Structure 1
Amino acid sequence: MEWLLAALGGGGVVLLGRYVWDRRSARRGDAEELAEIRRLADEDITLLGEELARLDARVTGRELDVDARADFQIALDAYEAAQRAVKGIRSAEGISAVTDALATGRYAIVCVRARVEGEPVPIRRVPCFFNPQHGPSTTDIVWTQPKYGTRTVPACAQDAARVRAGEDPEVRYVRYGLRRVPYWEAGAAVTPYGRGYFALGPWTSYVPLTGFEKNGETGPDS
């Protein structure tokens, strides 16, 4: 290293110092981004586990048919798959394996509930846009948000009812610096979280990113 510094001279030392600083800053940024992604994944996995516990209590003592048992097992397998996947996340984009497993598990839970109640099994849809933790969406709803305008988004039954009633939907908020903002406004660090839920699978038609489509054009964050 001494010979390199001597060859570079004073100006070279400054440039080398900046390079090392930039590299360290980039690594810190990547680590913080990865930590935030893992935190979001852990929260969602915990909630899925709680849903499974409630479902188990609900069906205990009831005779489940073959299809209901199969769906229950799919939900359990998806929960375990998400737990394994979160441990293997090495980059922000790795969240997709977790969110895909979580979406599969939540849909399987919905199927079990429908079969137990003797109701038709719903078709698989993308998660609720406002909060993917709400599980599969049940309908599309026209929603207007300041700054972004109006668009149609998939929503769970409860959030769709809130929007129709002129109330605010229950949005998934995350930390962004010192503020709490909707997950789609949390910048590049959280973008893979939304994309993971909405950009996988043949049923996909929504990819919520940092911005909304406005006036027929896609914003710079889309």
Structure 2
Amino acid sequence: MLWLLAVLSGGGIALGGRYWWDRRAAKRGDTEELEEIKRLADEDVTLLGEELSRLGEAVDGRELDAETRLDYQRGLDAYEAAQRTVRGIKSADSISTVTDTLATGRYAIICVRARVAGEPVPERRVPCFFNPQHGPSTTDVLWTQAGHGTRKVPACAQDAARLKAGDEPEVRYVRFHSRRVPYWEAGAAVAPYGAGYFASGAGASYIAIATFESQTGATTWGDWNSGGAYTGDLGGIGDYGGGMEGGGGGGDG
């Protein structure tokens, strides 16, 4: 009887140790995920600041009308707000607050440039799928990735032109398991970053599908038709239509 109690006691200690170890590993993973998200967001904030600096040089000495000044101030406010928000991020999911602010700032820059040039202010669209740092998309393009089929994605003017010329788009790459991969293939650790820029509509589905693939090794892109609507089964991830919705981006890519 005593030996049985000893075995059970030892087993309890082992289970407790395993639970403690798993908790530590999970916490360590959450911390690493948060740091990666903060790093990506901080890079985007820095880039927005550089774009605003260039804009300031471009309009220096010009007499700006009230609407242009308002857009310019909106961009500056977004930059300052994004800086504060990045420092205060406590969870990976809260990155959406930063990406929303960055999108507002980038769109403000586009509006200022359009008004100064005497051009119509463009509509606010979701960011460029290939790299949200490029700012708002200007059109939807059919894009084929080897082994994954063809889908329709939002693209900035420059990436749309590259694809039309037969070149590759300028994709944002990140580090994932010691490899450099497109940000949408970097799994759950970076998924909140992409989901923050594409909060709803087809943009969200692009991120969800790619995250699903990177975690499971499945290939599901072939189930998208040329119009961008998913026709397969994600096993519970949800139904994502092909319509374009959601927030806009910032400066042009």
* TM-score > 0.5, shorter chain as reference: yes
Deviation at 1:166, TM superposition (A): 1.2
Q: Name the residue aligned to 1:28.
A: 28
User: Which letter maps to 2:222?
Assistant: K
Indicate yes or no: 2:229 matched with 1:214: no
Are 1:213 and 1:219, in contact at CA under 8 Å, matched by a contact in 2?
A: no
User: For 1:206, what is the secondary structure of its paired residue?
Assistant: helix
Deviation at 1:214, TM superposition (A): 3.1
Q: Which stretches in structure 2 are left out of the alignment for 5+ residues?
A: 1-5, 214-219, 224-230, 239-253
Aligned residue-pair number: 215
1:1-222 aligned at under 5 Å gives the runs 9-199=9-199, 205-207=202-204, 208-209=206-207, 210=210, 211=213, 213-215=221-223, 216-217=231-232, 219=234
Deviation at 1:15, TM superposition (A): 0.3
| Structure-2 change in CA distance of 1:170 and 1:15 (3 Å) | same
| Structure-2 change in CA distance of 1:175 and 1:218 (3 Å) | farther
Q: What's the CA shift string for 1:159-200, capped at 9, x where partnerless? A: 001111111000000111211100000000000000000116
Q: CA RMSD in A?
A: 1.9
Q: Which stretches in structure 1 are left out of the alignment for 5+ residues?
A: 1-5
Q: What's the CA shift string for 1:59-99, capped at 9, x where partnerless? A: 00011111110000110111111111111211110100000
Q: What's the CA shift string for 1:21-76, capped at 9, x where partnerless? A: 00000010000000000000000000000000000000000111111100001101
Are 1:138 and 1:157, in contact at CA under 8 Å, matched by a contact in 2?
A: yes
User: For 2:49, what is the secondary structure of its paired residue?
Assistant: helix
Deviation at 1:213, TM superposition (A): 4.3
Higher relative contact order (CA 8 A, sep 6+): 2
Range with bigger deviation, 191-200 or 32-41: 191-200
Q: Name the residue aligned to 1:3.
A: none
TM-score by length of 2: 0.81
> What is the aligned-residue identity percentage?
68
User: Which letter maps to 1:194?
Assistant: G
